[in-house]
Amino acid sequence: MELRLDGKTALVTGASKGIGFAISKVFAENGARVMLSSRKQEALEKAAAGIDGETEVFAANAGDPAQAEACVAATVERLGGLDVLVNNAATNPYMGPAIDCDLPRYDKTFDVNLRGPFVWTQLAWRAAMKARGGVVLNIASVGGLSFGGAIGTYDNTKAALIHLTKHLAVELAPKVRVNAIAPGLVKTDFARALWEPAEEAVASHVPLKRLGEPEDIARAALFLACDAASWVTGEVMVIDGGALISPGFGG
């Protein structure tokens, strides 16, 4: 089975590094025109230079509705449409017991991780997908499917994003498919504090005995975005090396 996105236009948030960059790269290498977005122009240009395919870049803060609107409009104008939206951008400004989280950091986490995907999806729907159809892919987390740990506020946003995914899958059908990926611990700069101090020890608790790489998530994103998944919507694909089913993981 060939997984291709020929003739499709994709917009990926948080695309300058990590999972977002890996998704942008695999999309472009398999035929899509890709708009990369994140907060910093220089980082975006560097990322785009490392991709073999048709790309554009647009700097935007994923939690700012006005910047999101400008990015969606630029995608349609520069690339001729918008067929696939990947809501990947996220933030985690607070680490520690959720009960102690201060409101400014609590609000920022929800603004980017939950309100952000809603706003970007709403904009994509209005600008292109309501008329032409499309695919929305939300990058959630296994933390949204379990409990405990040091990033409870972040995990709350991902649990809500999973619920939003399923709700919008019903509302936007049949023209738009909406799915989510729930990665486990992936070796990115974003998650460095969770794995770098003791990678081997952390990986030893994962049934497949390794941590994830951004490419593991990107390959799944390609499947969900392309026509091979044309009868898949409202689903949450867990990609975690088996961690969620491992005894003692949490939940």
User: Would you please indicate which residues are annotated as catalytic (active-site) residues?
Assistant: 154
At which residue do the structure tokens 């890709």 appear? Answer: 34
Distances (CA, A) of 193 to 21, 125, 184, 198, 243: 20, 36, 14, 10, 18
Q: Which amino acid is at 130?
A: K
Cα–Cα distance for residue pair 14/218, rounded to 1 Å: 13
Rg over alpha carbons for the chain, rounded to the nearest Å, is: 17
Three-state DSSP class for 83? coil
**Which tokens go with 129?**
């997908």
Q: What are phi and psi of 171, to 5 degrees?
A: -65, -40
Cα–Cα distance for residue pair 120/126, rounded to 1 Å: 10
The answer to whether the peptide bond before residue 104 is cis (omega within 30 degrees of 0) is no
Listed in sequence order, the residues at least 6 apart from 234 whose beta carbon sits closer than 8 Å to its beta carbon are 165, 166, 169, 170, 178, 179
**Cβ proximity of 46 and 39 under 8 Å:** no
Torsion sign over Cα 227, 157, 117, 188: negative
Cα–Cα distance for residue pair 207/54, rounded to 1 Å: 38
